[in-house]
Amino acid sequence: MNGALVSAVSAYTAHREWATRPPDERYSSVAALHDAARTRRERINARAIDTKDLRTEAVASDALVLNDAFGVRLGLTHWSFEQLAGIAGAPPRYLRTLPAAIASDAINYGLRRHRREEQQLFVEHDAPRTVHAITSTMYARVHHDELAGRVLDLMSAHPAWHLPLGYRNGVFGAERVPSGAYLGDRDMFLFLVDGNRDIEDPSDSTQAGLFRGFILRNSDVGAAALTLDVFLFRAVCGNHIIWGFQHVAGFRRRHVGTSIQDAWTTSLEGIRAALDADPSADRTVLQRATTQELGSTREAVIDMVAQRVDLSIKQATEAYTVAEQHESNPRSVWGYVQGLTRVSQRTPWQDGRFALDRAAGRLLALVH
C-alpha cells in the first residue's frame, strides 16, 4: 500500500453512480461496455473549426442547432450546449429559460466577441448529426474503448477481477446483477473488485479479510479528468456502498496536451503492479499500521491527528471514540483510520466525507 494520495474517490463514489445512472448507461460486463464504446467511437469524428464560423440557429421554440462553416446543421447535446454557452460567455442555465431564438442571438453575439481562433468539434457523422463536445484544440482525448480494453487485459490475466453484484438498475432490493460498468454521453465509469485474493486484517474480529478494488473514470468530451484509484475494502453492499474503504494509490490527469498518453501509460504500469501484486506486500504494511501508534495516550493521538491532517479537535475526538468501540487498538494508525472511515460513512455531506477520507489517506501514508 504505497503512496496514498488525495483523491475525490470515497466509500460512496460507486454508490452515487449505481443510484443515478439510467438503464441505457448500465452494462452487465466490461466487454459489453467496451463494444459499445468502440461502436460509439467509430461513429464520431473530431475536427477543428474557427470560432468565427460557429453560429447557432433556432429551429423551434425550444430547440437550437449549430451551423458549421459549410452550412450543415448539427444537433447539440446537453453537455455540448453548456460548452458552447461557456465559450460565448453566457450562463447555460439561464439560456435554457429563454425562447430558442433569443438564446441563439445571445450565443452568437458572444461568439462574435470571442478571441479564441479555433475549437475542436467532436461530431457524430451518422444521422442525426450531433455535436458531442466543443473543446479547445489543446484537448487531448483518451478513448473509452482503449481504457476498457486495458481493463479486459487485466481481467484476462487475473480472472478474479470482476464487477461486483448490485441491485438491478439502481432499485434497492431488486435482483442482484453484475454492476459498476457505466457509459454515458459524458463519461465512462468502471468499478471492479478482486474478491478472491484476500488480505488478513488483524484488527477485524470477524476475520472477513480485506480485498482490492479500483475505480476508473474517463471523459472524452471534457467533463472529467482521467482517474484511476486503487483501494482496499471489507465488503460491498448491493447499493455499492464500500465498507472499510481505504485509498491506496491513484492517477489523475487532465486532458491537456499530448503528454497525457505517455503519462497514462507510465502511470498505468505502476498502478497495474499494485493491482497484480501478491497480497503479501499489503499484509506487511497493514501489519505495520496495526502496530505503529499515533500516540501513547488518547489525548496524544487526538492532538497529533488534529495537527497533522487538519481535522478539528471535535472530529479527531469523534473518530477516536468510534475506534474505541470497534477496534482493538484505537491508538494504532490502522485502528484510528478505521474510526475515521466509520465517521465518514455516516457523515451526510459529500465534502465532509471527502475531508475525512483524505485525512485517513494521509495517516496511512505515515506508515513506514
C-alpha distance from residue 120 to each of 134, 238, 352 (Å):
6, 41, 37
Q: Tell me how far apart the alpha carbons of residues 365 and 358 are, in angstroms, rounded to a whole number.
A: 11
Cis peptide before 128 (omega within 30 of 0): yes
Q: Tell me how far apart the alpha carbons of residues 53 and 46 are, in angstroms, rounded to a whole number.
A: 16
Per-residue pLDDT of the chain (368 residues; tens, 9 = 90+): 333 344 568 888 999 999 999 999 999 999 999 999 999 999 999 888 888 888 999 987 678 999 877 778 899 999 999 999 999 999 999 999 999 999 999 999 998 887 667 888 999 988 789 999 999 888 888 899 999 998 998 888 888 899 999 999 999 999 999 999 999 999 999 999 987 666 666 555 555 678 889 999 999 999 988 888 888 888 899 999 998 787 777 777 777 665 666 666 666 566 666 666 666 666 677 778 888 899 999 999 999 998 888 788 999 999 999 999 888 899 998 889 888 888 887 777 766 777 787 788 788 777 76
pLDDT in tens, 256-299: 665 666 666 666 566 666 666 666 666 677 778 888 899 999 99
> What global pTM score does this model have?
0.76
Q: Quick one: which H or E segment has residue 38?
A: helix 30-43
DSSP type of residue 204: -
Q: Tell me how far apart the alpha carbons of residues 281 and 283 are, in angstroms, rounded to a whole number.
A: 5
- Residues 6 or more apart in contact with residue 79 via CB below 8 angstroms: 132, 133, 185, 186, 221, 223
Q: Tell me how far apart the alpha carbons of residues 184 and 197 are, in angstroms, rounded to a whole number.
A: 31
- Full DSSP string of 3-32: -----S--TTHHHHHHHH--GGGEESSHHH
C-alpha distance from residue 313 to each of 275, 319, 364 (Å):
36, 10, 19
Q: Tell me how far apart the alpha carbons of residues 206 and 215 are, in angstroms, rounded to a whole number.
A: 26
365 phi and psi angles, rounded to 5 deg: -65, -15
Q: Tell me how far apart the alpha carbons of residues 362 and 304 are, in angstroms, rounded to a whole number.
A: 13
| pLDDT at residue 342 in the model | 83
- The answer to whether 236 touches 193, Cβ cutoff 8 Å, is yes
Q: How many CB atoms lie within 10 A of CB 183?
A: 24
Q: Tell me how far apart the alpha carbons of residues 19 and 234 are, in angstroms, rounded to a whole number.
A: 21
Cell triple for 368: 513506514
- The answer to whether 18 touches 180, Cβ cutoff 8 Å, is yes
| pLDDT at residue 128 in the model | 82
- Residues 6 or more apart in contact with residue 202 via CB below 8 angstroms: 286, 287, 290
- The amino acid present at 368, given as its one-letter code, is H
C-alpha distance from residue 302 to each of 62, 295, 338 (Å):
57, 8, 14
| pLDDT at residue 273 in the model | 65
Q: Tell me how far apart the alpha carbons of residues 87 and 336 are, in angstroms, rounded to a whole number.
A: 47
Q: Tell me how far apart the alpha carbons of residues 82 and 32 are, in angstroms, rounded to a whole number.
A: 29
| pLDDT at residue 233 in the model | 87
Q: Tell me how far apart the alpha carbons of residues 212 and 340 are, in angstroms, rounded to a whole number.
A: 19
| pLDDT at residue 290 in the model | 83
